[in-house]
Structure formats: C-alpha cells, structure tokens
A and B are shown apart, each in its own frame.
Chain A
Amino acid sequence: MTSLTLIRRIAARRSIVFDALTTPEGIACWWGPDDGPVLLAETDLRVGGRFRVRFRMLDGSEHESSGEYLEVVRPERLAMSWRWAGGEEDPGESLVEIELRAIAEGTELTFTHSQLANEETRRSHEEGWNGALDKLERHFLTSANGGRHDQA
C-alpha cells in the first residue's frame, strides 16, 4: 500500500484549522492544486455523512471528488474516504486522514492520503476478521457453558 504524508505547522489554533478543513466556506478558500475556483462544496460533518467538492483549474478543466466521513473528532482528528467523480485521475477509492496537534505556535497538521487495498484484498481481510470474530464468539460461548456446568 502506498501513501503520501505531508506535515504543516500553522499559526492558528486547532479549532480554526479544523473548521477550515470541514466547512464549505473554509473549503472554498483553499481546495485544489492551483488558484482556480471551488465551484461547489458540500459537507455533512458527521460519521457516515458525505462531502462533495468540485473545482475548476486554471487550465479550465473541472474535477470533483467526494467521500464519506469516517472519523470526526473536532478539533483533533478527521478521516474520510476519497473518490474522484469520473475516476479518470485515479479510479480507486482512497483514504484521507488528518491529525491536528496543538503546538506552541498553533497547530501541527499531519495529512495522510493512502491508497486502499483493492476490492479483493479488502474482502479477504473482512473474511479474516469475521472468521476471527466467529471464533472468539464460539470461545466465549464455550467457556460460558463450561462455567455453568461447573456451577451445576
């Protein structure tokens, strides 16, 4: 799995940085690879809520990405899934994680964008986990029964 990590030290308190990251007004001011405008920004800031941002680059091309908020802990942590509409830039789903740490001058932001394992790997992981949970459940059922037997 590959991932990109970027760190920024920002002279602003964490709540301001967090709101800049998550409100449509904030997003409109910074989102995108060049100075082209943000055309649309929607955020439903809660776990399971979605965001959608569309922007135009200076070359005139328009791009849109969207995803689901996976973790929302104001003002310290944010995680969301990421996918490009149309998918020509990167057809897969990826994961964005942002940590905000309070430092003397304000906030240290650690940003990570990682490529998720493909569908097949994810499925096998899930099966692995479910298998493990089933086993755990059986284990507890067995020992619970055993306990009752002992008492009887």
Chain B
Amino acid sequence: MVKYPERLDRTFAALVDPTRRAMLARLEREGSASVSELARPFAIKLPAVMKHLDVRDGARLITRSKVGRTVTVRLSPGPMREAMDWLRRYERFWSASLDRLAAYAESKEAEMREKDR
C-alpha cells in the first residue's frame, strides 16, 4: 500500500500541470469521457494524452475502462479529497490560531504603550 504522504505528493504532482487540471475539470463536469474526447480541446496527440493519464493514474485520480476500442476515463475522487483535506485541516487550525495570535499581540502592544505613557 502506498503511504499517505507519498500519495499526497503524487496527487499534487499530477495537479501541477495545466493540461492535466483542465482534463480533470472536464471529468468533474461530465463524469466520464473517452480518451479522444479528452484530447480534442488540446493541441496534443493521443500518446501525449495517454502520458498525462498515466501520471494521474499513478496518483489514482482516475480510473480507465476499455470497451472495444474506446477507453473511457472517470474521475476517482479519493486522493484528491485527501489532498484537499490536508489543506483544509491546517487552514482551519492556523487561521483560527493566527487570529487569536493577532489579538493577543495587539493587546500586548496596547499594554506596552500604556506603560510608556
């Protein structure tokens, strides 16, 4: 089994590329698409699309199924959710903490000025 931090690294690596993100956004909108449909908006050849899909497959962001000659790609949201959870968890923690830190420092500053007067 792939360890959690390693999995997150792969997820973020897969999301860095704008072409991969655009494909992902499309899958999110439409649920599924064939590989050639995914290639159409981009000026890239099928093998290049397959390469992008391999990166995402490695990060387990998508699943592929083949019927006849058509390969259908679907989004598998697990790893992406994990990455977003990481960010959200820390954002909640630090956002609240830093708000209180600011309030505390400002009260200390006020105290100091009071003393100086």
Which A residues form the contact surface with B (CB < 8 A)?
1-2, 4, 6, 8, 10-13, 16-17, 20-21, 26, 29-34, 89-92, 106-107, 109, 111, 113, 115-118, 120-121
B 92-107 contacts with A by CB, 8 A: 92-106
- Stretch in B6-14, B35-43, B45-53, B55-63 with 4+ CB within 8 Å of A: B6-14
B104 neighbours in A (Cβ, 8 Å):
20, 26, 29-30
B106 touches A115 (CB 8 A): no
Q: Residue of B at shortest CB range from A113?
A: B90
Asked if B117 is at the interface of the complex by the 8 Å CB criterion, the answer is no
A12 touches B109 (CB 8 A): yes
A107 neighbours in B (Cβ, 8 Å):
105
Asked if B115 is at the interface of the complex by the 8 Å CB criterion, the answer is no
A12 neighbours in B (Cβ, 8 Å):
102, 105-106, 108-109
**Bound CA span A4–B12, Å:** 13
Does more than half of chain B's interface fall in helix, strand or loop, or is it mixed? helix
Q: Residue of A at shortest CB range from B13?
A: A1
B 31-86 contacts with A by CB, 8 A: 83, 86
B12 touches A2 (CB 8 A): yes
B91 touches A16 (CB 8 A): no
A30 touches B101 (CB 8 A): yes
Asked if B87 is at the interface of the complex by the 8 Å CB criterion, the answer is yes
B109 neighbours in A (Cβ, 8 Å):
11-13, 16, 106
A29 touches B98 (CB 8 A): no
Known pairs A89-B89, A91-B4, A121-B9; A2 contacts B83 (CB<8 A):
yes
B97 neighbours in A (Cβ, 8 Å):
30-33
A1 touches B89 (CB 8 A): no
A2 touches B112 (CB 8 A): no
Known pairs A11-B109, A12-B106, A26-B104; A111 contacts B98 (CB<8 A):
yes
List 6 interface pairs A-B (beta carbons < 8 Å), by A numbering: A2-B8, A6-B95, A10-B105, A30-B101, A109-B98, A118-B9
**Bound CA span A31–B94, Å:** 8
B91 touches A4 (CB 8 A): yes
B6 touches A118 (CB 8 A): yes
**Bound CA span A90–B88, Å:** 12
